[in-house]
Structure formats: structure tokens, C-alpha cells
Amino acid sequence: MFFLNLSLGQLLVLFGSVSAVAVTLYLLDRSRRRQTVATLRFWVNAEQPVAVRRRHRIQQPLSLLLQILSMGLLLLAVAQPRLGSPGATVRNHVLILDTSAWMGAQIQGGKRTLMQEAQDRARSYLRALPSSDRVMIVRADALTMPATVFETNRKKLEAAIAGSHPGSTALNLDQAIEFARHSQALSAGRAGEIAVIGSGRVSRRESAEPLQGPVSNLRFVPVTETVENCGLTKIGLRKAAADPDLWEIFVSARNYGKSAQTLPLTLRFGGAPAGSRRLQLPPGAERESTFEYRTRAAGLLEATLFTHDAFPQDDRAVLELPPQKSLSVAVYSDESELLRPILAANPRVNATFYPTKDYSAMPQRDLVILDRFRPPTVPAVDSIWIDPPIPGSPIPVRTRLTTPKVARWRSGHALGSGLRTQDLRLESATVFEAAPSDIRIAEVDGGPVIVARPGKPKIVVIGFHPARSGIRYELATPLLFGNLLRWTTPEIFRRWELTGGSVGSVKMTLDSDLAESDVRVLSEDGRTLPFTVRERTLNTFVGAPGTVRVIAGDREIVYSLTLPEVADTMWEPPAGIRRGIPPARQAGAGSREIWQLLAILGAAGLLLEWYLFGRLRRIWFPIRKPVFLRKAS
Amino acid sequence: MPSAPLLDREFLEKLERLTIHWQKSFAGLVGGHNVSRFAGGGQEFLDHRHFHHGDDLRAINWRAYLRLEKLFLKMFQVEPRVPVRMLLDTSGSMSAGSPEKFDYARKLAAALCYVGLVRLDTIAIQPFNEALGERCRSGGGRHRFSPVMDYLAGLRSEGRTDYLEVVRRFVTAYPQRGLLIVISDFLGAESCEKPLQYLADYGHELLLVQIWREEDRSPVWMGELDLVEAETGERLRVEVDATARERYTRAFDEFSKSLEALAARNAGRYVGISTSMAIEEFVFGSLVRARGVA
């Protein structure tokens, strides 16, 4: 006989404690009680001798014995004793099947994959277990996912094994073992083994951390074969600061094998060669190459590492370059040479100048600039009105001032960011009657002279001509137009980066002045993804290949996560754990549970004690005691 | 908030068909429950006789005179006028344990008083413990019952019983013999048999009503007990087992039998009642069978 829930020591300690409590309660229960009666006459007549014995004497040993015996039986039932040998009991095993990206590596000359090998080992492990043992299949990559519950049905387990495929992320083994331990602890029955079947490749961070908790029931079934692999780890693109048509491209590659490699790395854009390098990759080293490519066109940028290794999934990365958006502006002016230098300074602005007589309210442009001109109909798109005639101004005019001095710029707003002038006097300026919701960008003593009205469409009114007043020599003029254009169409002027990487966790350092509320992480289909920001670093996790957009203020970073996450370190199993497939073990004759019988006996004992000696019973059911007990008492 | 009445209306209506019964003929008193041989100032018509000089003119049957031109006098049956007294035990032993015997005793006293009032008897309720308390005398019909209820509701159970002193004072206070109903548990530190015998010897007809709780007769406790007498506070340490309980019950029953024998020996009656029995069941059952009421 053996105990399933408690050890013998634990059972004895518990039994001793319960017995002590029972004896104490018994003595308290049987101690002398005070009772008020109408007369003592008949008690004296009853000729019962006055109690002179010690108080703590056990008066009804049979009652105490029954109580202790019954509680002992109940404790035994809790301990779940079984008849038979411990080896014959049903155990709960957890089989952790490595489904990390690396398990897709080819072996035996490309005939099989590591995953298929692991599946064979898993089936062998199942066959080695007694048929009565219960097994849970757990698929583990960066996330741990149970494929079955604790199951004795071998067909279901084998189906779960066959349905396991390599994922895109690296193995998080610590998390998987922790999950297995919890599952065993929460399940009824005896915990069996935690068998890890896989390549044992984990990330460098995890390999540095020792395994938490006991490893006595851990078994490692390695699926290893010498696999040489070189692969791309990262590809990134960004526009050159000086030339908007020039892309700066960064490609990183790593040698995961044990021999040095020299491999050609080529870059193709839209099928046409865009660059080529030869990479010297020592064992375990990572190298980065930089390319430059000039284009405004959209298309697929493909980086290929020409190698014939066992893991081709990381040899090729493709990024989609989006079309270069520019702001299309229609300028209606009879003196176009005044505004042309201001607009030409920004390469992302495509300005077209028209005489005022060719005005159209639907110009098929993103923005309309009206230079001292009252259009017959208000434009349907965003517009900037420069010194509009008083009767035709979109914002009511308060007055017209001569030689006013610019009193203040609203530098706290994005529209007035960086704008400042000193003792600047305008020849003349129109002062507007701004609504409370309007943004006053610049003011003279008489009121606002530059007003922006949010809404759809957005309207900006400038009460003077920047190129015909003293401000044209100020730095504030191009900055003002830059701010106005960014405010009307922020998506055109957003800083934009494209990064290709591997599936898994994504980290990005944020600007120091950026509020967390200005950060959004969007998936390919526009859904918001969860993320955390800790110490100015954004963290998010992507479990499947795809594209993630991080919008942080005026900055947008697109992560094209198509490369598999390849772990770079072999896990060092702790000393003392079992390895390999265990020898086949047949199920024993089986052990028999007897806790139900013990529980019934214990309950019956307590009921009998209550029936014979219970104080409340004597009040509720006044029955006569059996003859043998009356004689005994 | 007014307390609930001792007896409900329905029970009182049932009590109206009962009469307090006594057996003795008391010296110096007319009455009893046999029809009187004497004519007198009663309510019930008895007979006619010829008018004699000096007779009460109000009793002349003037109808007969008009018809026969002779004076006839109407005679009425004399009604019994035996004093009914109730000794109600208000000692501390009456309120020992739950339910209280005292509540039961008060209800019984109220019921018997109502029966007497309905029959135009005069009833005196006399509480006692160490001595006689302030009595309540009532008579003259059922409409005088309300003050009796108030009086009984105001009684408290306390003190010890001194039957000898109580009997001595009772005999002094009530020289006229009559029916004496004693409602008590007859339990206490001292014996009550001898004082009760004195009462009987003095000429009172005794109706002893002994009230007990179930635990007074059959205690349920086991093991070591520190018993405290309710009236005196005297303590006794005993170890109770089944045998001791049986002996106790036997002693109690013997005591009840001695009371019953005392009552029978003196042409009185004895009724024992447990508080577990409903008061209505007791009055219309045990008390009627004992001819306490009829």
C-alpha cells in the first residue's frame, strides 16, 4: 500500500495533530458543567456519589476512541492510499514538442526535417509509456500551447503530434517547462515526467538563465544533427536625409554553423539588380552590409543570400517599398514668382501655379493656395488664403492696420513651432475676428493676423503677403509654410522607416519628448496591437509573420516580420536529468483505490459516536443506550 | 409595546362552559355543588308558599294574587358561596430553566380565575414564596377578568419557598375554610408535605396542581455537573450517568406520589402536569378528570 496525496510522515503528523485536538475537545466537552436546577433534593436522594475524581479523566473511553479512529480513517482517505506498488499507478506526463522555427531545418540531404524527426521520437516516447498513463502534448515555440489535455487515448495523442508544425519563433523552453509543472500540479493523480523533445536551440538570453525549480522529473530527448546554416537576420530601409529619392538599405546576415562561409548577397528591386556584395561570415558571426538605391517608384525589394544550407527559410527577405507620396498644391496667383521659392524649398511638395482667372473649385489637388484673390466659390479641399480681399475672406476681418508690429507667435502649437521674429513690422496687415476654436498663429497688438481653422477642409488665412513684406527676409517665412503644410497633410511629412526582421518580440526606442498616448501599434489589417512602453522603449510581440506599423508622433516605422526567428544558442540541460527515450514499461496489474471505503468507515464511526454519546442527540432523539453500553457506564 | 395576553380569546370562550368544582361542605357556609335544601335570596326559582306577616313584599307573586285573590310568596334557591383561593408559587425555582414553569402557572391561574368569575364565584389569588404576597381578589362576573390578567402579568418569580411560614400566615389571614388551589412545583430546599397537611387539617379542601419541566423530572445531562439550586444557590457536584438519572426520576415520581396521597388522604385532589403539555389540553383533560373543574 502507498499514499498518493500525502507521505507517511505527513499523514502521521496530521493524525497526531488531529488526535490532540480531538482529545482536548473531548476533555473540554466532558468537563464539569454548571447547571441550575429547581431542587437538589432528588439528586441527593439518587445517592450518586459526589465527583471527587480528577477533572481531566477520560470518562467515556469508547467515545474518544471512536472519534480518533474515525478521524484517522478520514485522514487516511484524504491521503488516498492505494493497494499495490507505486510503480503501478497511473501517472501524468507532459510531452513538450519543440515547434520553433529551427525545427523546419532539413536533414539527411533534404529528405526529412527536424520536425519529422521530433515527431518520430515523440511517438517512440509514447509507446514506451504504460498504456494507462496520461499524456499531455504541448507545442512550444515562443509561446506555449497545449495541443491536448491529459489523455490516455493514444490515437488522439498521435494525431496531435502529427499536427505539429514548425512555427516562426524561437523556443522559450523555460516557459514551457513551467507550464508543464503547473499542469501536473493542478491535475489529479501522480505527476509523471516532463519530456522535452526538440533541437534544444534557445535564445541567448534564455540560455544564460538557469532553469527554475526541481528537474527530477525532466527528460530531454534531443533531436540534433549537424546543420550548417547562414541566414539573413535583419533588413532595414530609410530615406537619406539629404535626398528624398535615395534609399539607404541595411542588410544583416549571420552564420549559425561551425565553419566560415563566404557568400554572395544580392539585392533586387522589381526584379532588377540593385546591388551585390560578398559577405565573409566567420562561425557565429553577424555582418551588416549597406546599400544605396535611388528610386521614387513603389516595388518589392528582395535580399537574397546565396547559400545551399539546411534552413532556406532565412535566406531570402522581401520588403515592399511604398510609393513616395508628395503634396500636390495648386497655387492661384498673378505673381507666381513671389511664392515659387518658398514652395520649391520642400522636395515633397509638388506645386502647380495658375493665374487667378483659371480658378477651379475642384482642382484635383491636396491643397490650394489663393494669393490675394477672392474665388467665386470656396475650394472643396484644404486652402491657404494669403492676404484675402476684405469682402471675400473666409474668416471675418476685424480691421486693416498699417505698419503693425508682430507681437507674438504661438510657439506652443505645432503651427507656430520654431517661429520667432524680433521687432518685425509689417507694411500693412489684416486683423481677423477669430472664433474660439480657431488657432491664432501670429498676432499684432490689434489682434490675430494669421489664423488657422481646423475642420474639414482646413483653412489658414494670412493677413499679409509674406513675400511682399519685411518678413520675407526672416527665417520664419519658410518655417511658417513648412508648419502649415505639415499641419494640413501630416501623413505626407511623417518620418518613415521600413525594417525587415524576424517574428517575435519587437523593440523600438521612442523619442524622449513623445507621450505614450501618441503611440499606436497597428497590424497589417489596421487592428490595434497591445504593447508596453518601459524606459522609453516600446515592446510588442508578433507571433506570426506579417507587417506591424508603429506610429509614434510624426514618425512611422513599418516592421515587415517575414524572417523566421532562429535561436542561436544550444540549451545546456541541467546535470542529472534523464535523456533519450526510456525503455518500454508495461502497465502493472494496477493499484486499487480504497479511499472511498475509508471515508465511509470514518463517517460511519463519527455517526455512531454521535448516536451513542452525542450531547445534542440526547436532546433531539432521546433514545435508550444499548444494554452493553449501559453496563459499561 | 404591550405584551401578549396570557390567554387568548378563543380559549376563554371554551372555558365558559366549565365550573370550579369542590366536594366538601364547609361549616358555616351554604353551598356546594348539590342543589341546596334551603330557600333564600338566589336567582333560581324554587317554590311558592303562603305569605306571612313580615315577609318581603317584593317576593309576593302579584299575578297569582290577581287571579286567586290570595298572597303567595316566591321562594328562590340559595346559591353556594364557598370562597375559592389560589396559592400561586412565585419562588425562584419556578423560573429555573426554559420554558418557565412560572409562565405556565400564571396561565393556569388565569384560566381557573376566569372559570370562577363566569360562575360568579369570588376568587382570591395569593402569590407566595417566603411569605404571602399581595393578593388579588376578584368576583362579580367575567368583566372583572381584565384586572386579574394585569395583576398576573405583573408578578415576578424570585426568592425561596418557605411553606411553613406561608401556611401559618395563610391560616391567620383566611380563617374561613374553603377551596384552596395550590399551583406550584412543590420543589425547593424544604419539604412541603407537612405544611400542606396543616392546611388540610385546618379544614381547607386542597386542589394541588404540580407543574414541572421535563428536565425537572428526566434530566438530560451527563458527566460531571456542578448543580446549583435556583432558590438557595446551594451547590452540589455530581457525576451523572444513566443510573443516576433513573434514580433521580424515580425519586421525583415518589415525591409526586406522596403529594397525591396527601391530597387523597384529606379528601382533596392532585394533578401533575408537565410544561410540555398545552394548557388547554391540561384544563380540559387532566383537570376535568381529576374533577378540579367540571
Write out pLDDT tens, residues A201-256: 887 665 556 666 666 788 999 887 677 888 888 888 877 777 777 888 888 998 88
Question: Contact A38/B188, CB-based, under 8 Å?
Answer: yes
| Residue range A17-45: mean pLDDT, rounded | 79
Question: Contact A32/B223, CB-based, under 8 Å?
Answer: yes
Closest-CA residue to B197 (of B229, B173, B163, B224): B163
Q: Which of B212, B213, B247, B258 to mutate to test the interface with A (most CBs of A within 10 A)?
A: B247
| Alpha helices per DSSP H over B16-100 | 62-68
Is A205 in CB contact (< 8 Å) with chain B?
Answer: no
Instruction: Name chain A contacts of B188, Cβ cutoff 8 Å.
Output: 38-39
Is A64 in CB contact (< 8 Å) with chain B?
Answer: no
Task: Tell whether pTM > 0.80.
Answer: no
Residues A93, A195: Cα–Cα separation, whole Å: 8
Is A611 in CB contact (< 8 Å) with chain B?
Answer: no
Q: What is the pLDDT of residue B79?
A: 61
The SS3 call for residue A469 is coil
Instruction: Report ipTM for this prediction.
Output: 0.78
Reduced to 3 DSSP states, what percent helix, strand and coil does chain A have, rounded to the nearest 5?
25, 35, 40
Please report the sign of the dihedral spanned by the C-alpha atoms of residue A362, residue A365, residue A369, residue A372. negative
Pair A371, A386: CB distance under 8 Å: yes
Question: Contact B230/A38, CB-based, under 8 Å?
Answer: yes
- pLDDT 10s digits, A445-493: 889 999 999 888 899 999 888 887 777 777 888 888 888 888 888 877 7
Q: What is the pLDDT of residue A632?
A: 42
Identify which of B96, B224, B242 has the shortest CB distance to residue A38: B96
Please tell me which residue of chain A has the smallest CA distance to B239.
A51
Is A208 in CB contact (< 8 Å) with chain B?
Answer: no
Q: At how many degrees (to 10) do helices A154-162 and A114-128 cross?
A: 170
Closest-CA residue to B82 (of B33, B41, B46): B33
Q: What is the pLDDT of residue B80?
A: 59
Identify which of A32, A40, A42 has the shortest CB distance to residue B234: A40
Q: What is the pLDDT of residue A30?
A: 67
Is B221 in CB contact (< 8 Å) with chain A?
Answer: yes
DSSP letter (8 states) at residue B148:
H
Strands (E), A437-568: 439-444, 447-453, 459-462, 495-502, 504-509, 519-522, 532-534, 537-542, 546-552, 555-563
Q: Which of B214, B225, B276 to mutate to test the interface with A (most CBs of A within 10 A)?
A: B225
Question: Contact A39/B221, CB-based, under 8 Å?
Answer: no
Q: What is the pLDDT of residue A448?
A: 92
Instruction: Name chain B contacts of A48, Cβ cutoff 8 Å.
Output: 238-241, 243-244, 247
* Residue A21 reports pLDDT greater than 50: yes
Pair A209, A574: CB distance under 8 Å: no
* Residue A620 reports pLDDT greater than 70: no
Residues A296, A310: Cα–Cα separation, whole Å: 37
How far off is chain B from A15, nearest CA to CA, in Å?
A: 27
* CB-side neighbour CA atoms (13 Å) of B34: 8
Is B159 in CB contact (< 8 Å) with chain A?
Answer: no
Q: pLDDT of chain B along its 294 residues, tens only? A: 445 677 888 888 888 888 888 877 776 565 544 444 555 666 677 788 888 888 888 889 999 999 998 999 988 766 656 788 999 999 988 888 777 889 999 999 999 999 988 887 888 999 998 889 998 988 878 888 889 999 999 999 888 888 989 999 998 888 888 889 999 998 877 788 899 999 999 888 899 999 999 888 888 887 778 888 888 888 888 878 788 888 889 889 999 999 999 999 988 999 999 998 898 899 898 888 888 777
Is B233 in CB contact (< 8 Å) with chain A?
Answer: no
Question: Contact B220/A50, CB-based, under 8 Å?
Answer: no
How confident is residue A321, by pLDDT bands cut at 50, 70 and 90?
confident
Q: Facing residues of A500 across strands?
A: A235, A560
**Cβ contacts of B126 within 8 Å, gap of 6 or more:** B85, B86, B87, B88, B132, B133, B135, B170
Instruction: Name chain B contacts of A55, Cβ cutoff 8 Å.
Output: 224
Pair B33, B80: CB distance under 8 Å: yes
Closest-CA residue to A565 (of A250, A161, A231, A263): A231
Identify which of A32, A48, A59 has the shortest CB distance to residue B247: A48
Please report the sign of the dihedral spanned by the C-alpha atoms of residue B179, residue B180, residue B183, residue B187. negative
Pair A67, A29: CB distance under 8 Å: no
DSSP letter (8 states) at residue A597:
H
With a CB-CB cutoff of 8 Å, which residues 190-209 of chain B face chain A? none
Is A48 in CB contact (< 8 Å) with chain B?
Answer: yes
**Cβ contacts of A534 within 8 Å, gap of 6 or more:** none
Q: What is the pLDDT of residue B107?
A: 92
